Amino acid sequence: MAEIQEKSGGSKKGAGKKGKKLSTRIDLTPMVDLGFLLITFFMFTTTMSKPKTMEINMPVDREDIKEDEKNKVKDYTAMTILLSKDHRVYYYTGLADDPLNPPNVQITYFQNKNGIRDAIINLRKKVYEERGNGAPGHNISDEPVILIKPDTNSQYEDVVNILDEMNINGINTYALVDITAVDREFIDKTEQANGE
């Protein structure tokens, strides 16, 4: 590994005896071998990071439901969440498909008490109560359906928070869709009614 090489110093007459100069030379070949062995060892023993993905719930094909009713959302299972400026969350239940009877739009925030989480929990309770009563037209497969509509002035943080709420509350059927002019009108009317 390390060698000592002798260099002969020339001797002149009368100069006396000088000691021999010794020079060291280090052979790095074994060090390179050791480096490659270590790299190989760490490559084989390390664990690669697992990809983080979201789980996608695919619809189940059921034969006992009529073809025209498969994709219909029932009024009592639906909730629309409108994300707006200043972390405001507007929501209403139902489909809001009757222009003569607009929905009752509520305002809340991402807070622990009386926040959007409580509204989602109440929707789940209502759906499961309706489903448990066995009322006509109610299927065991009826689940809460939530439409999330972020406005152009909402923040990215709010979208992430509402998706977290879907995961926390076990909502399997939700969609992130564009906000409509009708929904913006609901927000404006609600703000005017509250004097904002």
How confident is residue 13, by pLDDT bands cut at 50, 70 and 90?
low
Percent above pLDDT 70 for the chain: 76
Would you say 82 and 89 are in contact if contact means Cβ atoms under 8 Å apart? yes
Q: Between 178 and 69, whose confidence is greater?
A: 178
The model carries a pTM of: 0.61
Q: CA–CA distance from 159 to each of 86, 87, 137, 162 (Å)?
A: 13, 10, 33, 5
| pLDDT reported for residue 62 | 61
| pLDDT reported for residue 94 | 85
| pLDDT reported for residue 90 | 92
Residue 98 identity (one-letter amino acid)? D
Rg of the chain's alpha carbons, rounded to an integer?
Answer: 36
How confident is residue 135, by pLDDT bands cut at 50, 70 and 90?
low
Pick the CATH number of 75-193 from 1.10.287, 3.30.420, 2.60.120, 1.10.3470: 3.30.420
Question: What does the H/E/C string look like for 151-174?
Answer: CCCCCHHHHHHHHHHHHHCCCCEE
| pLDDT reported for residue 114 | 86
Q: Between 44 and 55, whose confidence is greater?
A: 44
pLDDT digits (tens, 9 = 90+) for 64-119: 656 555 556 777 788 999 999 888 999 998 888 777 788 888 999 998 888 999 99
| pLDDT reported for residue 66 | 63
What are the residue boundaries of the structural domains of the chain, listed by start? 75-193
Q: Give the separation between CA 195 and CA 191, rounded to whole angstroms.
A: 6
